Amino acid sequence: MTALPYLKKARPWFAEIDSTVLQQNVKRLDTAYKNFFEGRGFPKFKNRSNFTSFTYQMGVKAQGNKIYLPKLGWLRFFNSRSIPTGFTIKAATLRKRQDGWYVSIRIEDKTIPDYVKKPLNEVKASTPLGFNPERSRRVNSILGCDLGITKLVHFSDRHQIDNPRFSTNKKARRTLKIRQRRINRKVKGSKNRKKAANKVGRFHKKITDKRTAYQWSVANTIVSRKVDAIALEDLNVSGMLRRCQVKTDEKTGRFLKNGQSRKKGLNRSISDASWSDLILKIEYLAVKQGKVVIKINPKYSSQECRNCGHTDKSNRDGEKFICTECGYHEHADIGAAKTIRDRALETCIERSRNIVRGDSAKLAV
C-alpha cells in the first residue's frame, strides 16, 4: 500500500484507474506472496491476456439497468438480479468471460442477522432404543451421501441422482475435439486463431454454466430432505487427481507402465463431476436451513461389509458388493452411503457423551 504513491508518480497513467482498484491489486499480490512463503507455489505473472478481474471497494451505484463505476461512469448492464430494498452496495467485482464482462455486487443490510452454523452437539433430537435420551442430545435423522461418477450422488435411503457428464459425454468430447483441431490449423498469432480459441472458451463456459445450475439443483434436492443432518465424504480431490508415481526397471532404467494412461480418463471424469463445488453448495444451503453437515472419512466405506464388518478390496466388483466372508450382497455405492451415515451417527453419539462427561465433572465440583 505504501508504494502506491511512488508507483503513481512513476506511471502517470495510474491516475486513470480508481484508487481502490489499485489497492485491491496490491492486496492480491501480498496474498500471493504469503501463499508462496507458506509453500503454496510461486505467484504467476499477470499480463494483459490473463488479468481478467478487478474490484471496486466504494463509489459503486446502481439504478435499474445502469451501474456507476468510478473512473468509468455510468454503464448499461443486464440486471439479472435486482438489489433488494434496504441493502447497500459494499463492493463490486468485474470479471471478463468468453462472452463478455460480468459484474458481481456485494451488498449488506445490518438489520438482517447472519446465518449461524448450528453446532452438532446442540441439535435437538430423539434417541434410539437402548440409549438414555436424558443424558444426551442426538441428531434424529441423518442422510448419508456417497459421491460417484456413474451416479453423481448415492443416498443411504437408496435414491440416486444421475451424473449428466457435461464435458465427458460423447457429443461434448466430439465438439471439443473438432473446435480444438480448428485452432491448431490456424496460423499462430493470427486473428482467425484467436476467434477459434474464443469459440472453444465459450463452449467451456457453456459447460460450466450447465454444471453449476445442475449442482445447485442437486444441492437443493439434498438439503430439502426432511433430515437433521447430512453426512458427506471428506474427500481429498486434489490428491485423487495426482499423477501416478513413476516406475522404472531396476536393471535397464527404462520406464514401466504405471497406469497413468488409464487414470487419465478417471481424472477427467472426477473433474467433470466437480465434487468439491457440490459439497460447498450443500454446506451453504444447509447453513441457511439450519441443518448440520458432517464430513466423514470415507476410507474403506465401499469395501466394508455391513453384515459382518469384513473389509477386503475383493468384496467390491464395480457396482456390485459381495462379501467374501459371509456372502452379503448389496449395491456397493448405496452400501457406502449407509456406512457413511452410520459413521456420522457414531460421531454424534461420541460427541454427545463427551459433553455429558464434561457437564458431570463440573457438577461434581
Torsion of CA 354, 356, 358, 363, to 10 degrees: -170
Chain Cα centroid distance, residue 282 = 9
Q: Are strands 247-248 and 229-233 parallel, antiparallel or unpaired?
A: unpaired
* Burial class of 169 by CB neighbour count within 10 A (0 to 12, 13 to 18, 19+): middle
Cβ atoms of residues 179 and 207 within 8 Å: no
Q: Which residues are catalytic?
A: 146, 233, 333
Start-to-end CA distance of the chain, whole Å, equals 54
**Residues of 140-153 as b/e, b for ≥16 C-beta within 10 angstroms?**
bebbbbbbbeebbb
**Grid coordinates of 304:** 466394508
